[in-house]
Structure 1
Amino acid sequence: MDLLDWYVIGAYFILLLLFGYFIGQENRDQDDYYVADRKLSWWAVGISTMATQSSAISFISIPAFVAVKEGGGLTWLQYELALPLAMIVTSIFLIPLFRKLKLVSVYEYLQLRYGTGVRNTVAVLFLLSRALGTGIALYATAIVMQSITGFELWISILTMGLIILIYDTLGGMRAVVYSDIFQMGLLLLGVIVSIAIAVDLLGGFGAIVDTFPKARLQTLDFGWGLGSDGGMPFWAFLFGGFFLYTAYYGTDQSQVQRELSARSIEDAKRSLYFNGFARFPLTLLYVLMGITVGTLYLQDSALQASVAASSPDHLIPQFILAYLPGGVKGLLIAAILAAAMSSIDSALNSLSAVTLHDFVLKEKHTQGAREIRLSQITTLFWGIAVILFALMVGVIADTVIEAINKIGSAFYGPVLAVFLAGALHRHIGSSAILTGLVGGVGVNLFLWLFHPEVMWMWWNVTGFVVAYSGAWMLSMSRFKTSKKGADYTAGHTVALKWTGMDTLLACYFLMMLIALWLIDEGWADL
């Protein structure tokens, strides 16, 4: 890389650190540090939420999946179909309830509804899975940065990890959200620049139509993912994706904490609606980058030689190194870093929030500066833990990186059942819901170990169905309703309200489905 590229990357890092320091001066207590005193606008929360989803893995892996990965192509778009439907359920059933209770940790609700045992169990599941996933994200991004910069892997991990840790520890949720907005802009700029340069090098879109493999342009794969069909089965991603997204946006602290930071219930719901509409176009941009860079890859033997068949994720980094001019190259590398940081910073803040509110303080409250110190110390602890895990993960990388998505799906469905059952059924008590939770996770682990032909996306469905139905039936037959649970649910319900935006999201889902079908038919006719 040129000296100018290093200046661009260095300036980006310095700006982030200064930003975290100055915005951290506004924090006065835990509400400031973890939920920005509940004063963030809907658009800031919405963009930050989308930035977290648009990680470095998305920036790198989606184009690679579309362009070069075996069995890949436009079928990735099926992954997005269930998102609008999940936003409807989350905005109607979950977010209004959490906002009414003025929570900092979403797992505080489980204490109020079921008691300490359920709260601690679900909070521990979150801490373990989120810390593991964050360490993997840091490690995977560092591997890509190593291929670009030539630095040792441990240097890349430490550099990115320490910068994120410093500005996140100093700034809290405001630093997370507003840095995410900047990083989202940088990410979009990086995608657009990559597409424009690739199209210019190809001499226009005509070369794409003539060169890019038609088999990779298939958008719909009507498989079930229950046998040997493999690939990206439509029905598994539709049904499994619905439960996965509902659980992620509605019960995962790293996401819900943003909605808890909005000014009102209405603003929190607007941020979800924004994601329901905006994420599909963003994914289309990633896909277009994969098509354009992939076409260039097919015409350039040098680029092909630099991307091993076993490492398709190196396609975009190698494209950046080979074709982008000085300065722009540094900007695109900064975009990759931005994408990584927007996921990791929010995870650290949420890990800190859950640790402090669900285990350290619970019902106790400290004041002012002491609250901030405790929050910063907890964030520092998790940041160091994640960095250490990322440094050690190379020993088990082949198994963990392959398994990390499965880990989430093993738990998301049962956890969603815990929250929805608590909100909708006052007769379900803590013993029944814990039994259902264990049963749902147990069934998923059984499928993982003994029935690998069942695609992991289905675990989001099986875990939810087993946990929810099991808890409901046990409460009706064997377990007595706890008076606390019944009284609490009766006094903490929200009016279920279907709005015009929910109707638009449902129509948007149908439009997405029709659009994918039309793309399929259009390419088939060429």
Structure 2
Amino acid sequence: MSWIDWTVLISTLLLIVGYGSWKTRKNNNLEGYLKGNNSENWMTIGLSIMATQASAITFLSTPGQAYESGMGFIQFYFGLPLAMILISIFFLPIYYRLKVYTAYQYLEQRFDSKVRSFTAFLFLVSRGLAAGITIYAPAIILSTLLDWNLQLTCVIIGVLVIVYTVSGGSRAVSLTQKWQMTVIMGGMFLAFYYVIQSFPSNIGFADGIDIAGSLGKMEIINLEVDPSNRYTLFSGLIGGLFLFLSYFGTDQSQVQRYLGGKTLKASRLGLMFNGLFKIPMQFFILLVGIMVFVSFQFNKPPIIFNTSAVNIETQKNAELQAIESEYDANFETKKDVLENWDSNNSASIELVQTLQKNQDSLRATYKTTMAKIDDDYESKDSDYIFLTFVLNFLPKGLIGLLLAVIFSAAMSSTAGELNALASTTTIDFYKKYWSRSDDEKTDLRASKLLTVGWGVLAIVIALTAGLFENLIQLVNILGSLFYGTILGVFLLAFFFKRINGKAALIGAIIGQLFVLTLHTLTVLDYVELSYLLYNIIGSFVVVVSGIIVQISINQK
């Protein structure tokens, strides 16, 4: 990177961290630290909600997901608007009426302390692991492509987040997230512009869409009812609905964002803002990946994107060289056809489709051969696609801005998670079981120390994590393993008034064990099931088990 890129990167990050720390330096009580004294407007709430969910993984993995699999991933979000409506109707009024700090406080009032603690514990496990992944994901990719030290990159991201999260609490997180989203989306629009500029002069955006469509990348809706397919209209509307109900309605990292609203109306508007703009945002990020795919139809992509994972000298291996030579020749032939693109010429479309299949096949064969030669070779490299384009095709200065985008996204989501983890630990465990005093300063100090503790743990998890296929899938899987159970408990609390605490707790334990067993069977290939359906199944098992247990209790 040039000195200009370093200047842009460092200046952007320091300005964001400094702004959040300075604006919230006077927070001196627990309510102000954990809820921002209920001072947030609907726009800040909406942007903060989006920033907490949109981690660096979103901006690294999503374009790569589109590059390899097309636009179908957008279906994952189709259940989001309905989830926002249901949360605004059923969840929000209860939280505001009870004036809770965490979602789990309500469960004690509805059931008992055991149900509250068990559900809060599930949240701490799932979100604690996810916080480490949101640091590790950008760190592994940045360190790999830029030859940075991985451990140092993880520590830098983690320390920056800890500084302003500890100093200003919930309000610092919300204020910085607002500016982080501005930097993030500004950077992505600039990246999109330069992707289009990388096309040949006779190929415009509309031609790019035609080319992507002809090569099967613009298929948005999949009407199949296939439980093993992650990205269908069915999975998005049903599985996504349950995932987002649990994530936005019961996950403290999101609940805390709108509990700090000035009014119930402000929080509802913030949620609606997220429901309306999240899908277009994800669509745009996927479209960036599609346009990168089109650009690489004219600018030869590497046969593998994560070249640092190669531990052998490929030039000395005749089999690999033969595959690469065939790959190069295939690309040049396809490029010649595409430079004279005519969307009405069916013969040229079929030829391009055949050549693209050959290219994909050669790439897969190359990876398979690499894996045979090198046991440590990591063949999954979709997370490296977008950043490869950024480093090779963007001008100086803008590379630094795009790296600031990735860092900002990592920091915004991690800050929201640390703030929520500290809040849950403080309110649902420390003040519930250990605190012997109502002294505000003591509780505030404890909350800040817990924030530091969770931050250090997140860094430790990041330092010991391993790369897992596509990183955005890993975060969603982690959530789906626990969210169904948590949502099931809240559904029992909201809609089944005759269920008591004992039945709810047993139902929750049964539901969690069932989901973990189901996931194990899926990993071992005994069952084919999309992880999105874990949310439906987990919720259903908790509710049914709770009802059955309550009936058996009543009959005794």
- Into which bin does the TM-score normalised by the smaller protein fall? 0.7 to 0.9
What's the offset of the Cα at 1:80?
1.3
What's the offset of the Cα at 1:307?
5.1
* Residues in 1 aligned to 2:545 and 2:493: alpha-carbon distance in whole angstroms: 13
SS of residue in 2 equivalent to 1:27 = coil
1:303–1:319: 8 Å Cα contact kept in structure 2?
no
- Identify the residue that residue 180 of structure 1 maps to in structure 2: 177
SS of residue in 2 equivalent to 1:215 = coil
Q: Structure 2 unaligned segments of length 5 or more: list them.
A: 308-378
2:76–2:232: 8 Å Cα contact kept in structure 1?
no
* Residues in 2 aligned to 1:206 and 1:237: alpha-carbon distance in whole angstroms: 28
2:61–2:471: 8 Å Cα contact kept in structure 1?
no
SS of residue in 2 equivalent to 1:241 = helix
| Superposed counterparts of 1:170-319, under 5 Å | 170-202=167-199, 203=201, 204-212=204-212, 213-226=214-227, 230=229, 232-303=231-302, 306=305, 310-319=380-389
* Residues in 1 aligned to 2:294 and 2:184: alpha-carbon distance in whole angstroms: 22
**1:335 and 2:413 aligned:** no
The equivalent position to 2:530 in structure 1, one of 440, 455, 467, is 455
What's the offset of the Cα at 1:186?
0.7
| Superposed counterparts of 1:423-462, under 5 Å | 423-450=494-521, 451-462=526-537
2:383–2:471: 8 Å Cα contact kept in structure 1?
no
Q: Structure 1, residues 214-250: CA drift from partner, whole Å, max 9, x if none?
A: 31211122233335xx462331222111110001110
Q: Structure 1, residues 29-82: CA drift from partner, whole Å, max 9, x if none?
A: 111011101111111011110112222111121111111x2xx11111111111
> Aligned partner of 1:376: which letter?
K
1:253–1:350: 8 Å Cα contact kept in structure 2?
yes
**1:44 and 2:116 aligned:** no
- Identify the residue that residue 149 of structure 2 maps to in structure 1: 152
Q: Structure 1 unaligned segments of length 5 or more: list them.
A: 482-526
- Identify the residue that residue 106 of structure 2 maps to in structure 1: 109
**1:407 and 2:473 aligned:** no
- Identify the residue that residue 82 of structure 1 maps to in structure 2: 79
SS of residue in 1 equivalent to 2:261 = coil
| Superposed counterparts of 1:90-129, under 5 Å | 90-129=87-126
TM-score normalised over the length of structure 1: 0.86
1:223–1:232: 8 Å Cα contact kept in structure 2?
no
Q: How many pairs does the alignment contain?
A: 475
Distance 1:277 1:302, change over 3 A: closer
Over aligned residues, Cα RMSD in angstroms? 2.1
Distance 1:321 1:55, change over 3 A: same
2:304–2:381: 8 Å Cα contact kept in structure 1?
no
Q: Structure 1, residues 432-457: CA drift from partner, whole Å, max 9, x if none?
A: 11121122222222322234312211
- Identify the residue that residue 489 of structure 1 maps to in structure 2: none
Q: Structure 1, residues 369-414: CA drift from partner, whole Å, max 9, x if none?
A: 33332221110010001101111113x7579986553332122122
Q: Structure 1, residues 406-431: CA drift from partner, whole Å, max 9, x if none?
A: 33212212211211221223211011
- Identify the residue that residue 3 of structure 2 maps to in structure 1: 3
- Identify the residue that residue 55 of structure 2 maps to in structure 1: 55
1:51–1:184: 8 Å Cα contact kept in structure 2?
yes
> Aligned partner of 1:211: which letter?
I
| Superposed counterparts of 1:346-357, under 5 Å | 346-357=416-427
> Aligned partner of 1:423: which letter?
F
1:432–1:479: 8 Å Cα contact kept in structure 2?
no
* Residues in 1 aligned to 2:407 and 2:56: alpha-carbon distance in whole angstroms: 7
Distance 1:318 1:359, change over 3 A: same
* Residues in 2 aligned to 1:142 and 1:480: alpha-carbon distance in whole angstroms: 56
| Mean CA deviation greater in 27-36 or 407-416 | 407-416
* Residues in 2 aligned to 1:302 and 1:457: alpha-carbon distance in whole angstroms: 32
2:75–2:236: 8 Å Cα contact kept in structure 1?
yes
SS of residue in 1 equivalent to 2:217 = helix
Q: Structure 1, residues 141-169: CA drift from partner, whole Å, max 9, x if none?
A: 10122134321110110111111111111
Distance 1:332 1:398, change over 3 A: closer
- Identify the residue that residue 14 of structure 1 maps to in structure 2: 14
* Residues in 1 aligned to 2:39 and 2:472: alpha-carbon distance in whole angstroms: 37
- Identify the residue that residue 457 of structure 2 maps to in structure 1: 385
* Residues in 2 aligned to 1:407 and 1:324: alpha-carbon distance in whole angstroms: 34
SS of residue in 1 equivalent to 2:503 = helix
Q: Which is greater in Rg?
A: 2
